Amino acid sequence: MTDKVRLGFIGAGWWATANHMPVLAAREDVEMAAVCRLGRRELEAVRDRFGFRFATEDYQELLEQPLDAVVVASPHSLHHTHAKAALERGLHVMVEKPMTLRATEAWELVVLARARDRHLLVPYGWNYKPFVEEAQRRLADGAVGAIEYVMCHMASPIRGLLVGRDVADVAGYGGLFAPDARTWADPRVAGGGYGLAQMTHSTGLLFYVAPLRAARAFAEMSAPDSAVELYDAISIRFRNGAVGVVSGAGTVPAPSGFQLDVRIFGSEGMLLLDVERERLEVRRRDGRAFTMPLHSGDGAYTCVTPPNRFVDLIRGLSDRNNSSGEIAARSVELLDAAYRSAVSGCPEAVE
Ligand SMILES: NC(=O)c1ccc[n+]([C@@H]2O[C@H](COP(=O)([O-])OP(=O)(O)OC[C@H]3O[C@@H](n4cnc5c(N)ncnc54)[C@H](O)[C@@H]3O)[C@@H](O)[C@H]2O)c1
């Protein structure tokens, strides 16, 4: 590797231009080397704005450039193809959520990254909040004993994105472009709705703080006025025998914000983690308790640390990946079983 990490980007729409590119372009140890997206005019706009020396509409052409790492921010259904091709080239990969649509694809990426000794990170912003890291540490230290039951609820103000209307409102968060409506609302491009779009975050957080793996899932989903689902109700049996519910709603009325509430019960106590109301508490049967002092805003979603951590990992400046491919794969395998269950009407085993 040269002094700078040479980065290529596959997918340069709303999110990449609003978050990853400004964050990474601000680093002196990063070279914005190459970018790939569809649409010649938009591609040139991104090249001009961030100073890329190479721009193409063909991701394979991008991968022929001299690069150290790739950021994949294309639509969900392309993540596996794009990330796999980059890993096969021996590049470090940060791939957007959901890492893939299918469990087998997710674990394939994990195995490939391990075999090539490359970093694989999925930018789950909440996994890097100090109180979420504290929850992970406390659970690992036995705060609740053996985990027996989990409740994990998420809700988001993204009805417009999921029904494919008013998507430009999201561009209010920044970026050169509004999202393409198909990225979020067309099942052939998005793969699914609220589960893949957002419960990837809540389950990505759950599987970071708790060393669980789903064994089977039974799901009901509904799509009142959309082609992809807005609501998800999932019951789970985990491999360690614990059971749980993971639920989601994509219809929080603006200006109310995200809800993400995780409650974990075990043989010795419970841990309560809530990003909306900023709470981390442990209550134990032996009377011991812990409450982390938090302030309003501590749980607000930001995604500045994950892209920075990706570069820090590559440069050897950190060894903590709070949203590894392995954590993301445990989220994908649960959601994959849930989507299959919603179609079959039966509990489905994780593949
Ligand atoms: N981590 C987070 O907090 C977060 C937040 C928002 C979005 N996202 C994720 O970012 C990803 C992109 O979302 P978005 O809203 O920016 O979508 P978008 O529609 O704005 O961008 C998609 C990009 O992919 C490109 N693309 C499509 N097909 C391609 C192909 N065949 N080859 C190369 N490029 C191709 C498009 O040209 C576009 O640049 C999604 O996976 C989404 O879930 C993550």
256-268 pLDDT per residue, tens? 999 999 999 999 9
Q: How confident is the model at residue 299 (pLDDT cuts 50, 70, 90)?
A: very high
Report the 10 Å Cβ neighbour count for 110: 20
User: Could you say which DSSP state residue 2 is in?
Assistant: -
Task: For residue 186, give both structure tokens.
Answer: 């067309």
pLDDT at 171: 65
Q: How far apart are CA 174 and CA 237, in angstroms?
A: 40
H helix or E strand, kind and range, residue 42? helix 40-50
Domains of the chain listed by start with CATH number: 5-124 (3.40.50.720), 126-300+324-349 (3.30.360.10)
Report the 10 Å Cβ neighbour count for 200: 26
Nearest CA to ligand 1 atom 17: 179
Residue 341 above 70 pLDDT? yes
CA of 334 to the centre of ligand 1 (A): 22
Cis peptide before 187 (omega within 30 of 0): no
Please work out whether the CB of residue 105 comes within 6 Å of at least one atom of ligand 1.
no
CA of 213 to the centre of ligand 1 (A): 28
H helix or E strand, kind and range, residue 238? strand 231-238
CA of 73 to the centre of ligand 1 (A): 4
The pLDDT tens digits for 211-246 are 999 999 999 999 999 999 999 999 999 999 999 999
Residue pair 175/42 in contact (Cβ under 8 Å)? The answer is no
The pLDDT tens digits for 169-188 are 776 778 999 999 999 999 99
Nearest CA to ligand 1 atom 7: 15
Residue 67 above 80 pLDDT? yes
Please work out whether the CB of residue 164 comes within 6 Å of at least one atom of ligand 1.
no
Q: Side-chain half-sphere of 86: how many Cα atoms within 13 Å? A: 30
Candidate from 38, 74, 169 with most ligand 1 atoms within 8 A of CB, to mutate: 74
Nearest CA to ligand 1 atom 9: 96
Spell out the residues 6+ positions from residue 95 whose beta carbon is closer than 8 angstroms to its own.
Answer: 71, 72, 79, 82, 83, 109, 120, 121, 122
Q: How far apart are CA 47 and CA 41, in angstroms?
A: 10
Spell out the residues 6+ positions from residue 22 whose beta carbon is closer than 8 angstroms to its own.
Answer: 174
Nearest CA to ligand 1 atom 33: 37
pLDDT at 169: 75
Residue 167 above 90 pLDDT? no
**Residue 144: exposure state from Cβ atoms within 10 A (0-12, 13-18, ≥19):** buried
Residue pair 221/246 in contact (Cβ under 8 Å)? The answer is no
DSSP character string of 150-186: EEEEEE-B-HHHHHTSSGGGGGGG--SSPPPHHHHH-
